[in-house]
Amino acid sequence: MQNFVQNNNYGLLIDLDGTIIQKNEFITGEVEKSIKKLNQYMPIAIVTGRGPQDVWKFSSYLDLYGPQYCENGASAVKAQSKEILEVSLIPDDLSAKIMQEFKNSNLEYLVVSDGKTLINPQNYLSNISSLVLSSKVQNDLEKFVKKYNTLLDSNLIEFSTDENGNYFINIHNNPLGKAKAYDHFKEFYNLQSENIFFIGDGVNDLSIIDRCANSIAMGNANKKVKSNSKYITESVYEDGVSEAIKKIILPSIKAY
């Protein structure tokens, strides 16, 4: 268990793409430094649509401990031991049908199986926690969802983007979305709602923003994300995370 400089019982959940990382997975030195400083005062957990392999990579780079959240809350992993704490799986028969339609779509797709992210796999797999369809054109994904609306449960689909201009539909067996990560984090650290912070930028962050009293939208965030957040910081290209930590979070916990 981490030891913190002050026992203020605070915590931060933070998105990855468009929040911590810029295009091509770049993290500025200022953002890295600020996150590592804040982690002396409170637990920090990544919550992202990416799979466990990417979450372990970035949590290790940022020296994070404890539970981290992948696949829009569908799985939780331990940062240091690379252990999968819990995961919600898509039934094998349903995942097989969706994979077949992914193949027929001629679009790029990702599958997370047994914690590993596979790109355009041709063989059918089991123990699938995420199915992700990708395109540079958002309309391609909207057409896919409309065409297969009888196969796809709208409560289990989330749209997202990255800083490289890609659009995604993320399919999980998790109707709560990222809010599931919020609930797990709150219970794990026994935190009060008013002591939890969140920083994010995408529409897939809205479920967690609705629960979080101290939500911070990035300057590059979706309009709905900004309007639903308590605070707005600078964009990912202006070290928005660092600005949020220095000007909002640290003053709130009286740590300077």
Taking only the tens place, the pLDDT of each residue in 129-184 is 999 999 999 999 999 999 998 898 877 899 998 888 999 999 999 999 999 999 99
Residue 7: helix, strand or coil by DSSP? coil
pLDDT single digits (tens) 16-44: 999 999 999 999 999 999 999 999 999 99
Q: Where are the beta strands (DSSP E) in 114-171?
A: 116-119, 128-135, 157-161, 167-171
pTM reported for the whole predicted model: 0.94
Domain with CATH 3.40.50.1000 in the chain: 11-87+176-252
CATH 3.30.1240.10 domain residues, the chain = 92-171
Q: Where on the phi/psi map is residue 140: left (φ > 0), alpha (ψ -120 to 50), or beta?
A: alpha
Residue entry with tokens 């930590």: 245
Cβ(58)–Cβ(46) below 8 Å: yes
In the chain, what is the straight-line distance between the N-terminal and C-terminal CA atoms, in Å?
A: 24
Give the count of beta carbons closer than 10 Å to the beta carbon of residue 148: 15
Angle among Cα 174, 130, 116 to the nearest 5 degrees reads 130
DSSP symbols for 8-30: ---EEEE--BTTTB-GGG---HH
Q: To the nearest whole percent, how much of the chain has pLDDT over 70?
A: 98
Q: Is the model's pLDDT at 127 over the cut of 70? A: yes
- pLDDT for residue 228: 98
Given a contact cutoff of 8 angstroms between Cβ atoms, the answer to whether 229 and 244 are in contact is no
The amino acid that residue 90 corresponds to is I
Residue-level pLDDT at 155:
76
pLDDT digits (tens, 9 = 90+) for 59-116: 999 999 999 999 999 999 999 888 999 999 999 999 999 999 999 999 999 999 999 9
- 190-223 confidence digits (pLDDT tens): 999 999 999 999 999 999 999 999 999 999 998 9
Q: Report the pLDDT value the prediction gives residue 51, as an integer from 0 to 100.
A: 96
> What pLDDT, on a 0 to 100 scale, did the predictor assign at position 50?
95
What percent of the chain lies above the pLDDT cut of 90?
Answer: 88
Q: Which fold has domain 92-171?
A: 3.30.1240
CA 242 vs. chain centroid, Å, equals 18
Q: Does domain 11-87+176-252 have CATH number 3.40.710.10?
A: no
